Chains A and B, each alone.
Chain A
Amino acid sequence: MLTILVDGIAYGMLLFVLACGLAVTLGLMNFVNLAHGSFAMAGGYITVVLVNRLGIPFSASLPIAFLASAAIGFVFERTLYVHVYRKSPLDQVLFTIGLVFMSVAAVDYVMGSSQVFVRIPDILQGKFDVFGIGIGRYRLLIIVICGLLTIALQSILSFTRFGSRLRAAVDDSRVARGLGINVNRVFALTFAFGSGLAGLGGALGAEILGLDPTFPLKFMIYFLIVVTVGGTSSMTGPFLASLLLGISDVAGKYYVPTLGAFVIYTIMIIVLIWRPQGLFSRTASR
């Protein structure tokens, strides 16, 4: 029972790290980036190559995965995404779906279509025994890392100058522009940072979520659920939404395996109908 809870929390935390970049970019530019999962996949495969082929320690490969994905995100944002911001939602959807398909096929070509695993160090394997509950070490590590990241993100958003600029831009980008905030630059940085986080999430999650070329397609719906259920107005919304999603998905798969992912989709549709602006968002509409 508690093991499921811990697994669910670890899973939810991972989803949060994977999806929070999407939440911010969606709220900031109203841009539907379905290709967010591709950056996560990039991070995952970079880690696989670094650890398995080049023999770089797992702990060192995580920051590299973060930086590399952030760099990829930055380059894509500057070269391709900028042209699409002002287009209609249909164009944005077509464009990002196109990117997803290209990334899927490209990774398939370079890395092969089978599922790959990261060789995690022996210290992280096995379980702790806490009051008779088995907790996987790796899962505990994920909870710790993602928890720290969440706190760091929240404090960046709340206490730094960049955070306040970002919040202003999300709340009302026109007024923010009028106040002299370079919204495009804020956005480019946020996009890169969000892609980096996704890459880090992909690297950490390769072990739990499984990594194969169809990763962006498989998890696209999860990211979108996190964002739509959590809303885009704060970090806490997506955070709670991911925890809820992680726990209910793990519990659902454990207790009612016949229903599978059905539960999640139903919950998502109900939430969308009930509160289209998200479950935890404060403002009614923008």
Chain B
Amino acid sequence: MTPPPVAVRTATEWLAARARWHPLEVVFWLAAFAAIYLLPNRHLILTEIAWLGLFALSLDLILGYAGIISLGHAAFFGFGAYTAALLAKHEILDEPVLALLVSGCAAMALGFVTSFLVLRGSDLTRLMVTLGVALMLRELANRNGWLTGGADGLQGVSIKPVLGLFRFDMYGHTGYTYCLTILFVLFLIARRLVNSPFGLSLLSVKTNPLRSSAIGISVDARLIAIYTVAAGYAGIAGALLAQTTAFASLEVFSFDRSADLLLVLIIGGAGYLYGGLIGAIIFKFMQDYLSVLTPQYWPFWIGLVLVVIVLVGRERITSWTAPIRIMAARLNWRALARRIVASTERL
């Protein structure tokens, strides 16, 4: 057996270095899980942060890693939410975790079908198509009141205990633990995904589709795959919302939701996995604070933040995370350098 060429080995090393856990990441997740015990009276908002973070993570997968601008990501969110709510209401699948998986798969199926629509055309076309799909679903849910409850929303949903053991309570204790666990598991999968050769090829597609196809990456297949996965993530986020609130309404499909989501991701910074999570934390606390001041005019502040972010420049806004990221990168690079030196010495 001949050893693999140096380029392949270097790439593998690089990916492995990228995939290594950084101490800060460990701290982040330890803090998140510690909040189960340390912040028991904040669990309701933490639950919202958990599913919003998951939703933002799913948008990050297509926007930050594949460069697809979507104005209708709420389509999958809403689809998952309604699926979960309907499964629970008609007692088709009582167990929340199984129902969650089914909702995710349903959203993935929808994502797969609609992914062919976003392959073609420019950014504007993609915007329109994604927006159109979300509006279509909203209209469908609105018109088929016998199934979805129409404008009143789907009421009378009761969610059974998780795994038959943990009952959802009104303080959100179970809800937070449940959402956080799901978020963590899905985060691990996403982390594995973006640090794989597949994730690397996505970045190449984002940077230059033409050149990527020239070096043998099948651009369309990659985009379909990541869009489908992201749709599944969004569906699960929606299902988490439906399960923790035992309710689904037309609002899950709304344009505002897709637009808010863009803001969440932009605050945290697109293109790295923690962007969505950090964005969700900031967004929710900001919303909590501002909507107490002016409940009705909350959109104004969202709009102002968006305008300011663009005028100042997204790079500069998210640069507050740069020192952390640079530190992380440097640590990884050192380790990588050591390993490369070690491997060349062995030759």
In B122-146, the 8 Å CB interface with A consists of 122-125, 127-129, 131-133, 135-136, 139-140, 142-143
Q: With the chains together, A92 CA to B127 CA distance in Å?
A: 12
Q: Is the CB–CB distance between B303 and A102 below 8 Å?
A: yes
- List 26 A-B residue pairs with CB atoms under 8 Å apart, sorted by A's residue number: A84-B310, A90-B69, A90-B123, A92-B310, A93-B69, A93-B127, A93-B262, A94-B266, A94-B310, A98-B306, A99-B303, A105-B296, A108-B297, A109-B297, A113-B296, A224-B131, A228-B125, A228-B128, A258-B143, A259-B143, A260-B139, A260-B142, A265-B139, A266-B136, A272-B128, A272-B129
Q: How far is the CB of B68 from chain A (nearest CB, A)?
A: 10
The smallest beta-carbon distance between B141 and chain A, in angstroms, is 11
Most buried by B among A89, A93, A101, A220: A101
Query: Would you call A262 and B136 a contact (CB within 8 A)?
Result: yes
**Given contact pairs A95-B306, A102-B307, A276-B125, A262 touches B297 in the complex (Cβ within 8 A):** no
In the complex, A107 Cα to B120 Cα: how many Å? 37
A276 to B120, CA, bound (A): 8
The answer, among A26, A260, A268, for a CB contact under 8 Å with B132, is A268
Is B200 in the interface zone, CB < 8 Å from A?
no
User: Does A217 lie at the interface of the complex (its beta carbon under 8 Å from any beta carbon of B)?
Assistant: yes
Within 8 A of B (CB), among A88-131: 89-95, 97-106, 108-109, 113
Q: Which of B63, B262, B298, B310 contacts A87 (CB 8 A)?
A: B310
In contact, A221 and B132 (Cβ under 8 angstroms): yes
Listed in ascending order, the chain A residues whose CB lies under 8 Å from chain B are: 26, 32, 80, 83-84, 87, 89-95, 97-106, 108-109, 113, 217, 220-221, 224-225, 228, 258-262, 265-266, 268-269, 272-273, 276
Q: Which of A97, A113, A273, A276 is the one whose CB lies under 8 Å from B122?
A: A276
**Complex contacts, B236 vs chain A, CB 8 Å:** none
Chain B interface extent, by class: 35 or more
A113: chain B residues at CB < 8 Å are: 296
The answer to whether B69 touches A89, judged by C-beta atoms less than 8 angstroms apart, is yes
Interface residue? B117 (CB, 8 A): yes
Q: Is B309 an interface residue (CB 8 A)?
A: yes
> How long is the Cα–Cα vector from A92 to B263 in the complex, in angstroms?
13
Judging by beta carbons under 8 Å apart, are B304 and A102 in contact? yes
Closest residue to B307 on the A side, CB-wise? A98
Closest B residue by C-beta to A225: B128
Shortest Cβ gap from A94 to chain B (Å): 5
Name the distance in Å between A46's Cβ and chain B's nearest Cβ. Answer: 20
* Minimal Cβ-Cβ distance residue in A for B308: A98
Contact A95 B310 (CB under 8 A): yes
Does B259 lie within 8 Å of A80, measured CB to CB? no
